[in-house]
Amino acid sequence: MDNVRLSDFWRLMDDEFGAGYSRVLASELVLSELGGLSAQAALSSGIEPRLVWSAICEKQDVPASRRLGRDIAPKK
């Protein structure tokens, strides 16, 4: 996952953790890989969304098979 936009980051978070819990997780979970910042603080300080997503995946033990997001069928 080379380039993750902020909108992709939130889609990945919502898909993996649910829309409500993803916001709580982003503001409360301390990510030691990112200097002890929360995801929200890291994003606000300019850390790339892909690095924040990767740190969350590591901390929350998200399986590699789900780190690129769920498969979404194209709209017809």
Tell me the two tokens of residue 71. Answer: 């498969």
pTM of the predicted structure, to 2 decimals: 0.86
pLDDT of residue 23: 96
Taking only the tens place, the pLDDT of each residue in 44-62 is 999 999 999 999 999 999 9
Low-confidence ranges of the chain (pLDDT < 50): none
